[in-house]
Structure 1
């Protein structure tokens, strides 16, 4: 396990070290939730075009429940695992670029989990109708997830684990929606 943690720290330092202060505002914007509101409105439009209003409301409720579960699970893991964020790790702080920081614990990334939940869920529900959509959604999820590493608030394994949890939850919820429909 120590070897894996060392590799995770090395990868963080490499990826975080690729940054430049002139790009920091861009990555802070990418990680921010308000920046993506127009994107969410476009996704809502695609949902509206694809499903009748009653089904759309049902799907939106499932999205809200899925993201809530994804987010709350991340909070439980953060406290339970108690792995310090890179920006709170005294051994790493001197070696890395500190752009921003969050609470003390970072395992696992709720940003990655929530984004991959939404990407997976919408891809499974609408990917056959809008074939380009899964590519856009997973690119978006990866971009937001990478921003967390760039900014130094999550280790790569925090992000990978969060993305995996979100994607797995998306499969469960998409299958529930299909069965209930």
Structure 2
């Protein structure tokens, strides 16, 4: 059963990774780079502070905790535990992969930290402000999907890596937001 899932995942990876064009290579190269999004994060933090004033530190804390949980779960727990090679490190796939980025990243890829972090951030924002500001969901959900898909496109993650990373991100957001809310409510009661 596991072998069949892995085989399907490899075939799906090759199909999705094979859908490439020069202009999309350039776009996905930048979409997949973490530093590309620093200005977006700065604007987001400034917007939260300007819009939510005293509530902003708790919201920003929720976002930071989401990323810590998502990133550490995928990088420090899953990758060393499962030791699943990234597709770009698999010998028999070498001539079949369209690798857009230089280097392949770490040896192991299950699960995708990029997917966990981006989906976690999008979900945390939805939980925090999505009801009041629907545009946040309409912007960050496709953004998280693009960042997640870029990992397959550039050749460094299987679809299952991205799917599980996304699920980790969703769970991390719920845990972080609820934990910070409970902590702030407890602090308010004891003050």
Q: How many residues align?
A: 180
Q: Which shifted more, 152-161 or 58-67?
A: 58-67
Deviates more, 1:15-24 or 1:153-162: 15-24
- Superposed, 1:21-170 pairs within 5 Å as 21-53=22-54, 55-75=55-75, 76-100=77-101, 101-170=104-173
Distance 2:28 2:43 in 1: 22
Q: CA RMSD in A?
A: 1.5
Shift of 1:125: 0.6
SS in 2 for 1:147: helix
Instruction: Supply the distance in 2 between the matched residues of 1:13 and 1:65 (Cα, whole angstroms).
Output: 34
TM-score, normalised relative to structure 1:
0.93
The DSSP-based 3-state class of the residue aligned with 1:23 is helix
- Where does structure 2 lack aligned partners over 5 or more consecutive residues? 186-191
**TM-score (norm. length: structure 2):** 0.88
Q: Please list every run of 5 or more consecutive structure 1 residues that lacks an aligned counterpart in the other structure.
A: none
Give the Cα separation in 2 of the matches to 1:58 and 1:175: 11
Q: How far did 1:126 drift? A: 0.4
After superposing on structure 2, the runs of 4+ consecutive aligned residues of structure 1 that deviate more than 3 Å are: none
* Greater Rg over alpha carbons, structure: 2
